Structure 1
């Protein structure tokens, strides 16, 4: 019996040593995983300032799948990281749920705020600034990649990160607002809109020595307050515009629109934007697209009348008769007045 006991003693020692080794390796695994997770978290915090769409869950999963560390390989085989069922699904209120995208907060009131909707959402809503649309309802347009809603004090912008220009800019004009803004000092302080990710916006350097003007879509002269005036110089409200056209015929279009709003009995809603139809021409390092045409859709909410100025972005453009709203939608595919009742022609 003594001999048998002595024979088993080394086996127990070996087994104990084996457990100790496994335990130590497990601690190393956990330490490696924790260190990597901490590094990823630090990287995420720094990265969010450049791209608010990155999430730690997605970034971590991508990074971990590309890293091969023995301790981590062993943990993967045991099911780490655990799949909780929401690794790749945004939480309610985040992008993909038809609300404001993750990392962006809607502004309070009617002043300038963060982008409120991206391509993860199904349609435009401008829930933070409905006052710029007829009946307080924005047109329900399918949101394309890298499109974002921006609310300012005096206008709203659907911005495209692909063209680095607005898709359209919406305003509400009336006699009271225009009289209130008369005599305001033009600021002329253009600025890149920091609410847009760097890869989706134009910069001041893009326009330098380009030969194009920074053409307002919502004109500075339409603004009713110093704050709105200053915000109208955001590059999110600009397109590269031919200098002669900007200072000449297009300036007359803007002036005529204001004159009409001063005479109107109520609100006049205006949609302005670029049209890209030919070979792509760009300016600057950020490749800001140069539009082939510009449009200005005017809708009188009191009479139901609407018309559209449609002009080539060219020095030789002449003032011509406006086109109908029906012709505009045929050319652009944008039913900007879909939420209002239009009288039959």
Structure 2
């Protein structure tokens, strides 16, 4: 008779140690799982936040988290690149004159009220022209010169009467709607010796919002201080006096004109050789242009014709026949 072999009995101590090790591995995996889940959730929340707010900078930990989760390195299409060196050490890019390319028709779909017959101007083209609407004026901005091509206003007696009650704010600011590489900054004017010359004057603004927005640096050019406070100030005042006498709306376009290789201040903000102001009375059909050298010695003189202005600049700011 064959006896059945007995299975060796497991040692009680060995079983306990194995169970303990398995329990330890399991308990170790659970905190790691929670950490991974928390890490993934925070990263996803950060990603969503920066998608909805592309103007924010992405902190390095968040970018690293996104990379681990499989997001592409440059996933935010509007994210501004960080500067490789401090701003004051960056060499300014070469600046060319105002637009000189093939004619381009501007659109301004959100603020056509600033243009006669709601027809925006035709201008020489450029790759860095941007249309920016404000509550009281519209700007065609040139990212090469970091200044306007023109600033358009629609004025009348009622608006200027309301403007007389507005308090001047003098709170200048960089225009955040423009790419950083194409806009002027406050530091560009600091110590330059030039005024931040308004194109749409603060004194034209009939609302508190318009007054505040008129101090955007997108509405400025580097202007000789004596000219800004002297001859040019007289032209602005004379324009308002005319508007107060006019029967209806008066459209005003103001902007700079540059030499082929203009002087710059700061990080490449171009200094204009001339500043113009086109005045068009929509009721009478009359138009004229103030053409002023951006210099301390400039005096108030007779205006030039609109046709001569177009010949000098290529800017067709008024409708045909204006």
| Same fold, TM-score > 0.5, yes or no | yes
Of 86, 95, 105, which aligns to 1:123? 105
Residue 282 (structure 2) aligns with: 301
State which structure, 1 or 2, has the greater radius of gyration over its C-alpha atoms: 2
SS in 1 for 2:191: coil
Residue 328 (structure 1) aligns with: 309
Q: Distance in 2 between matches of 1:300 and 1:219?
A: 18
SS in 2 for 1:43: coil
Q: Distance in 1 between matches of 2:142 and 2:261?
A: 18
Contact (CA 8 Å) 2:105, 2:120: kept in 1 or not?
no
Q: Distance in 1 between matches of 2:165 and 2:110?
A: 29
Contact (CA 8 Å) 2:124, 2:315: kept in 1 or not?
no
Q: Distance in 1 between matches of 2:262 and 2:135?
A: 32
Q: What is the CA-CA distance between 1:301 and the residue it aligns to? A: 0.3
Q: Pairwise mapping of residues 164-313 of structure 1 onto structure 2 (< 5 A)?
A: 164-284=146-266, 286-313=267-294
SS in 1 for 2:123: coil
Taking structure 1 as the reference length, what is the TM-score of the superposition?
Answer: 0.66
- The alignment's C-alpha RMSD in Å is 2.1
Residue 50 (structure 1) aligns with: 80
The reply to whether residue 341 of structure 1 matches residue 321 of structure 2 is: yes
Q: Distance in 2 between matches of 1:320 and 1:301?
A: 24
Residues 47-98 of structure 1 show CA distances to partners (whole Å, capped at 9, x for unaligned) of 62317xxxxxxxxxxxxxxxxxxxxxxxxxxxxxxxxxxxxxxxxxxxxxxx
Q: Distance in 1 between matches of 2:228 and 2:104?
A: 34
**Higher normalized contact order (CA 8 Å, seq sep 6+, divided by chain length):** 2
CA 1:244–1:237 in 2, change beyond 3 Å: closer, same or farther?
Answer: same
Structure 1 unaligned regions, length at least 5: 1-34, 52-118
Taking structure 2 as the reference length, what is the TM-score of the superposition?
Answer: 0.70
Q: What is the CA-CA distance between 1:39 and the residue it aligns to? A: 4.0
Q: What is the CA-CA distance between 1:278 and the residue it aligns to? A: 4.8
Q: Distance in 1 between matches of 2:299 and 2:257?
A: 18
Contact (CA 8 Å) 1:292, 1:313: kept in 2 or not?
yes
Structure 2 unaligned regions, length at least 5: 1-66, 82-100
Residues 213-270 of structure 1 show CA distances to partners (whole Å, capped at 9, x for unaligned) of 0000000000010000000000000000000000000000000000000000000000
Q: Distance in 2 between matches of 1:196 and 1:171?
A: 20
SS in 2 for 1:158: strand
Residue 70 (structure 2) aligns with: 38
SS in 2 for 1:38: coil
SS in 2 for 1:141: strand
CA 1:36–1:330 in 2, change beyond 3 Å: closer, same or farther?
Answer: farther
Q: Distance in 1 between matches of 2:70 and 2:146?
A: 35
Q: Distance in 2 between matches of 1:249 and 1:122?
A: 32
Q: Distance in 1 between matches of 2:70 and 2:226?
A: 56
